[in-house]
């Protein structure tokens, strides 16, 4: 419990760095949010800048932002008048979270069993074929796999709609794209750590006791082999995030990833900041969860701290 | 060549081991060919990459245009070569940036040691938990989407792994007897770096570099795909994939050829990196 607390405390300076770096990056943008093709009258622009506090010195703006952030307020959006960033982001988060969770679940359900089976019979077809595919999966990025899936399954075979959002069928393509991309490294990782565990004494003991092989693989061996895999879930979540930028733009999913990309294109400073902060928090929390799960599964790690 | 068949594992040199790895050798050859073709693209490509010919727009592959043309009638093969030159160039330069920063940071951390080392490595840990993709995107957009910025941004976030590996290796070297002997003999720190650390780190550096290039190319392509990287009329493989994806219904060849070339290049780089690692760094595990 003290460990969790310590880790949470550690997250504060990290977040402050992220916020500050993003803040100054975002304010260094050449071209403000009110620069349009038709220039606004100078008075209107001055009023707008005054309203949003953009006329004050940058360190004052920074302080205002950070102190409001501490209360959980991400400020008003510059491009969606009348909306706060909290509202804009809040309306997008459920979409991205549900998509991300389905993809992660898919990745685990495919990646881990494939890795286990490959390690059980190394160098057989059960190993070579899936591992070949997973190598391809690592090298084929989401922005190649996504369009190819759309080309084959919706334009070629007509099984699913190419884009859109709203019903379960729209989940299939984006979730599969994200899930398979994540499953590939997961399968290789599982195989690698299973290979290390499989020759240990306690596995041989389990066989000798007459435990059924499936139980040995998926219960005895996997329990230990899973540790590096769980550690990888932190980076995997990060990969899912960047994958979601592509997949959401590609399949027209109204999620956080597409919001971030359009915020950058629109130079909506507060929205850029808000999305970056949400992502940073999500990634830090996921890393923490992965570490905690590892500590719970492996008492040696917990004691080392 | 013949001797390698009778020699034992220990006496084989790295190159002999590498040559036996057929996948790695073929990947290396493929990469050399692709890199040469792309580098020579201004002279060998059949058409100028930005030459438009609206009468021959959106044509499928044919004898005059092997990979077809895009909506503006530009030859896809020529653009593929030009885009490849950009993608590979970004990959190599950004990797060089990452190598440079990573080596200096890692060696310095290990040399200084103590609390400073802990602090420096803690910084690496913290930075690697940050959402770096976001930062690359922001940086490239904000400071103009010009090439030097893309190098710096991509290279600047790719040095972390490098620094960690180099630091671990240097620490090991630092404790070895020949380095301690050099210290006892009064060799300067720079001399130790030059004559003891660098030669012993060379294998690791080569492997690291080969495995960093695909990551960097992926990042560049990713940023270009979102429309935030390389800008028209220049092109890169990421941008071509995006353009192809936008109109894949009408002209699937615009999507397929850059996707295939890009994926094959990344695959080869990974094979090459694995092969190099197995050949020159036998201590590290194969997985």
Longest dimension (CA), chain A: 85
Threshold 0.95, pTM exceeds: no
Distance (Å, whole) CA B32 – CA B180: 41
- Hey, which of B29-38, B69-78, B210-219 has the most confident mean pLDDT? B29-38
Whether the pLDDT of residue B179 is over 70: the answer is yes
Q: What percent of chain B has pLDDT over 90?
A: 1
Q: What is the ipTM of this complex?
A: 0.71
pLDDT tens track for B20-42: 778 888 888 988 998 888 888 78
Q: How far is B194 from chain A (nearest CA, A)?
A: 35
Write out the E strands in chain A.
none
B4 confidence band (pLDDT: 50, 70, 90): very low
> Within an 8 Å CB–CB cutoff, is residue B247 touching chain A?
no
Distance (Å, whole) CA A229 – CA A237: 12
Flag if A26 and B142 touch (Cβ within 8 Å): yes
SS3 B69: strand
Flag if B222 and A146 touch (Cβ within 8 Å): no
CA A195 vs CA A127, A200, B95: distances in Å:
12, 10, 32
In a mutational test of the B interface, the residue from A133, A233, A264 whose CB has the highest number of chain B CBs within 10 Å is A264
Whether the pLDDT of residue B232 is over 80: the answer is no
**pLDDT on residue B5:** 44
Flag if B226 and A249 touch (Cβ within 8 Å): yes
**pLDDT on residue B282:** 54
CB < 8 Å to B225, chain A: 143, 246
pLDDT tens track for A93-137: 888 888 888 898 999 899 888 888 888 887 788 888 888 888 888
Which among A195, A249, A276 has CB closest to B131? A276
> Within an 8 Å CB–CB cutoff, is residue B225 touching chain A?
yes
> Within an 8 Å CB–CB cutoff, is residue B143 touching chain A?
yes
CA B203 vs CA A25, A111, A157, B281: distances in Å:
37, 32, 49, 7
The total of other beta-carbon atoms located within 10 Å of residue A54's CB is 18
A36 confidence band (pLDDT: 50, 70, 90): low
Q: Find all residues with CB under 8 Å of B176, minimum gap 6, and list them.
A: none
SS3 B75: strand
Which among B134, B248, B267 has CB closest to A147? B248
CB < 8 Å to A274, chain B: none
The first and second tokens of residue B57, run together, are 């727009």
Distance (Å, whole) CA B223 – CA B154: 10
**pLDDT on residue A142:** 81
Distance (Å, whole) CA A184 – CA A132: 10
Query: Is the pLDDT higher at B164 or at B143?
Result: B164
**pLDDT on residue B7:** 42
Flag if B138 and A264 touch (Cβ within 8 Å): yes
Q: Apex CA A297: angle with CA A293 and CA A302, to 5°?
A: 80
> Within an 8 Å CB–CB cutoff, is residue B252 touching chain A?
yes
Residue range B205-231: mean pLDDT, rounded: 81
Q: Find all residues with CB under 8 Å of A241, minimum gap 6, and list them.
A: A100, A257, A279, A282, A283, B131, B133
Which among A25, A138, A242 has CB closest to B133? A242
Whether the pLDDT of residue A144 is over 70: the answer is yes
Longest dimension (CA), chain B: 76
B2 confidence band (pLDDT: 50, 70, 90): very low
CA B65 vs CA A2, B79, B236: distances in Å:
67, 11, 19
SS3 A76: strand
Answer left, alpha or beta for residue B214, where phi above 0 means left and psi between -120 and 50 means alpha: alpha
């Amino acid at each position: 419990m003290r460990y969790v607390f310590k880790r949470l405390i550690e997250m504060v300076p990290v977040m402050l760095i992220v916020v500050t770096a993003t803040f100054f990056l975002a304010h260094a943008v050449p071209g403000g949010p009110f620069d349009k093709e038709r220039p606004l009258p100078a008075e209107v622009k001055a009023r707008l800048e005054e309203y949003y506090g953009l006329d004050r010195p940058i360190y004052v703006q920074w302080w205002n932002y950070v102190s409001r952030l501490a209360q959980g307020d991400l400020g008003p959006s510059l491009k969606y008048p009348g909306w706060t960033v909290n509202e804009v982001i809040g309306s997008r988060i459920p979409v991205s979270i549900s998509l991300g969770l389905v993809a992660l679940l898919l990745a685990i359900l495919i990646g881990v069993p494939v890795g286990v089976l490959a390690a059980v019979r190394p160098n057989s077809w059960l190993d070579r074929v899936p591992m070949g595919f997973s190598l391809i999966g690592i090298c084929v990025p989401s922005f190649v796999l996504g369009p190819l899936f759309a080309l084959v399954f919706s334009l070629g075979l007509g099984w699913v709609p190419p884009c859109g959002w709203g019903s379960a069928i729209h989940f299939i393509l984006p979730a599969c794209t994200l899930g398979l991309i994540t499953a590939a490294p997961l399968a290789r990782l599982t195989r690698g750590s299973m290979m290390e565990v499989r020759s240990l004494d306690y596995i041989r003991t389990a066989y000798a006791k007459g435990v059924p092989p499936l139980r040995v693989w998926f219960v005895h061996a996997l329990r230990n082999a899973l540790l590096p895999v769980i550690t990888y879930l932190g980076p995997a979540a990060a990969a899912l995030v960047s994958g979601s930028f592509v997949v959401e733009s590609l399949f027209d999913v109204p999620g956080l990833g597409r919001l971030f990309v359009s915020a950058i294109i629109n130079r909506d400073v507060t929205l850029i900041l808000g999305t970056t902060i949400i992502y940073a928090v999500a990634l830090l929390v996921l890393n923490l969860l992965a570490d905690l799960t590892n500590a719970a599964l492996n008492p040696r790690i917990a004691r080392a701290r | 060549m013949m001797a390698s068949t009778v020699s034992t594992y220990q006496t084989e040199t790295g190159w002999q081991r590498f040559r036996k790895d057929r996948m790695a050798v073929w990947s290396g050859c493929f990469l050399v060919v692709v890199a040469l073709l792309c580098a020579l693209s201004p002279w060998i490509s059949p058409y100028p990459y930005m030459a438009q010919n609206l009468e021959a727009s959106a044509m499928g592959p044919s004898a005059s245009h092997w990979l077809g043309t895009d909506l503006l009638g530009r030859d896809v093969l020529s653009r593929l070569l030009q885009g490849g030159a950009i993608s590979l160039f970004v990959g190599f330069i950004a990797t060089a940036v990452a190598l440079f920063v990573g080596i200096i940071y890692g060696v310095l951390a290990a040399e200084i040691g103590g609390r400073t080392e802990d602090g420096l490595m803690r910084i690496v840990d913290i930075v690697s938990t940050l959402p770096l993709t976001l930062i690359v995107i922001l940086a490239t957009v904000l400071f103009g989407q010009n090439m030097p910025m893309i190098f710096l941004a991509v290279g600047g976030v790719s040095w972390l792994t490098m620094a960690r590996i180099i630091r671990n290796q240097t620490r090991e070297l630092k404790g070895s007897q020949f380095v301690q002997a050099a210290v006892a003999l009064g060799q300067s720190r720079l001399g130790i770096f030059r004559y003891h650390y660098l030669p012993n780190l060379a294998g690791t550096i080569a492997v690291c570099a080969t495995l960093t290039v695909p990551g960097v190319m992926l990042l560049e392509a990713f940023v270009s795909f979102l429309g935030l990287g390389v800008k028209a009329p220049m092109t890169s493989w990421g941008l071509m994939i995006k353009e192809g994806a936008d109109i894949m219904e009408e002209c699937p060849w615009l999507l397929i050829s850059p996707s295939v070339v890009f994926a094959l290049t990344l695959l080869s780089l990974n094979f090459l990196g694995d092969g190099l690692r197995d050949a020159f760094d036998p201590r590290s595990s194969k997985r």
